A and B are shown apart, each in its own frame.
Chain A
Amino acid sequence: MLDALLLSAGYNAAVAMIGATLLGVAAGPVGVFMLLRRRALLADAASHATLPGIVLAFLVNLWLTGEGRSLPVLLAGAGAAAALGVLAVQALQANSRLSGPTAIAVVLSGAFGLGVVGLSYVQTLPVAGQAGLDQFLVGQTAGMRLADAYLIAGVAAVLVVVIALLFKELRLIAFDPEFAAAAGWPVQRLDLLANGLLLATVVVGLTSVGLVLIVAMLIIPAVTARLWTQKLGRMALLAAAFGGVSAYLGAAASAGIHHLPTGATIVLAAAALFAVSLPIAPLSRPRRAPTALEPPV
């Protein structure tokens, strides 16, 4: 365990830990904007919708190349399915009586059911490689290769750069989309971009945290950061720090203690940071709503 913390538990473990940490750093700020735009749970629908996409990508790749497992192919399938999941939630919200959370619940459970059925079918196939598919459920970085870590690092870097560039635009549409639209900002396209950031986080998060728990990496570091600051910039930086530290500690625990799924240990680390913050952070107490009766200045 100590070896793992110091990145000396072996080359593979070190690669996996660095990959997971970079993902945690990127997921924090993405989660901040999703949380403030009240879209955090959309990530849960997107992540569960990846499972049928992973299975389908495996089958198509198997059929085309004779080998199913290839991380870029599986992640491409996951990304396409996650995008479909988000579109399905939005279509249900716009064209039916379902509210946002209800639409998310329908898509999440429906897609996940489909994925589990597909996964069971794939397990019966007399081919190699399918055994590792269920690692996407709760995450397992043990088998991560250097190329995979590069992929995660690349995506994480893009996410951080996009958020840094569009920080004020994302802040505006998260706080007051109506004012933003009246002032001429393309709110729909910015929302689409924000959803793209969310999908990218979910897809690369599959490898380390897994699809069941990735939503936690978007939400927990962001809400922990909110307990410490009233400033959006600091909240984003703190969320990145909390996300990175949780992923690092969780991946180390998973590498040090055999057979612990990485996703679970990372999320436990994030939850521990939240639990420690709650009693000591300055903004933990319930907010008192200001009223018109307060003395005027």
Chain B
Amino acid sequence: MSPQIHLVNRAPIPAQGPLVAHGLSVVYNGKPALWNVDFAAPAGALVGVIGPNGAGKSSFIKAALGLVPWASGWATLLGEAPGKSRARVGYVPQRASVDWDFPASALDVVAMGLYRKLGWFRPVNRRTKEAARACLERVGMADFADRPIGQLSGGQQQRVFLARALAQDADLYLMDEPFAGVDAASEQVLISALLGLQAAGKTVLVVHHDLQTAPDYFDHALILATRAVASGPMAEVFTAETLQEAYGGRLAPSQLAALAV
């Protein structure tokens, strides 16, 4: 890559589109986790954020949400600074980021997606519970509404997280590894939920580490290796060259052949 000169502009210029990042960098303890990433998600796209471990996939999502500080660059969600568009953005954090021994039922967790709508101080009421139950039904978990979350399997827990995001009723969804460690049935539920969101005109970005399934699940891709290696329609960017570049030449020819790229 030839060196690029970037004008770093901290004040976001008006950017249309569900998610726009420009020159976005994240630095942890002096080490770049994400470097100078330019990306614009097309409206209504299902975007797979792909790359090896430590490629900055989670950092990209968190930086876009404004959860980690930007070392440079900027990001806008739905045309606004991340702090301003939160009511219209849904988020699925990594499943391992919370303690599943927490005293809560599946319904309790899904209701958390409706807290903003309730507002400060107001307790969870019957209408909120019914709305949360409807979201659990959409992920095939209605029968588990009152089950303590610690008694659910990994795939079921992931479905509860998805239902909580659905409850947020957002226009843009950011999901961090929702397919990690889920069973086949939950995988199917997640896929149809993603397609359902797309059919409803929503834009979805999904951090995904499984190269085998990525081309089937998503129509767009952002391939990261700290910096953005490639982004665009899946068929154009999911190639042997970009993957080898992202994975530092560590993919064997047989692996690439299996991916049919």
Contact = CB atoms under 8 A, between A and B. Distances in A.
Most interface-central of A166, A178, A231, A232 (chain B CB within 10 A):
A178
Interface string B32-55: 000000000000000000000000
Contacts of B254: none
A182 interface: yes
Given A231-B103, A290-B153, A292-B183, A183 B168 contact: yes
A91 B49 CA distance: 35
Contacts of B121: 165-166
Contacts of B154: 290-292
A150 interface: no
Contacts of B108: 171, 232
Most interface-central of A182, A184, A294 (chain B CB within 10 A):
A182
A231 B93 CA distance: 23
B26 to A, nearest CB: 15
Given A36-B102, A290-B154, A172 B115 contact: yes
Given A36-B102, A178-B67, A290 B151 contact: yes
B89 A182 contact: yes
B15 to A, nearest CB: 20
Contacts of B120: 169
Interface string B115-144: 110101111100000000000000010011
A296 B113 CA distance: 25
Interface string B138-164: 001001100010111111110000001
Contacts of A182: 65, 67, 86, 89, 91, 93, 174
Interface in A168-187: 168-169, 171-172, 174-176, 178-179, 181-185
A132 to B, nearest CB: 41
Nearest to B174: A182
B102 A174 contact: yes
Interface in A233-280: 235
Given A183-B91, A287-B150, A176 B103 contact: no
Contacts of A232: 102-104, 108
B109 interface: yes
A177 to B, nearest CB: 9
A190 to B, nearest CB: 11
B116 A183 contact: yes
Contact of A292 (B87, B144, B182): B182
B183 A172 contact: no
B86 A230 contact: no
Contacts of B83: 184
A175 B102 contact: yes
Closest 7 CB pairs of A and B: A184-B86, A296-B185, A230-B148, A182-B91, A296-B183, A294-B153, A292-B154
23 contacts: A168-B115, A168-B123, A169-B120, A175-B102, A175-B104, A175-B112, A176-B97, A178-B62, A178-B91, A179-B112, A182-B65, A182-B91, A183-B113, A231-B103, A232-B104, A290-B151, A290-B152, A290-B154, A290-B156, A292-B181, A294-B183, A297-B140, A297-B185
Interface of B: 62, 65, 67, 83, 86-87, 89, 91, 93, 97-105, 108-109, 112-113, 115-116, 118, 120-124, 140, 143-144, 148, 150-157, 164, 168, 174, 181-186
Given A182-B65, A230-B105, 9 more contacts: A168-B124, A175-B112, A181-B67, A287-B150, A292-B154, A294-B153, A296-B153, A296-B183, A297-B144
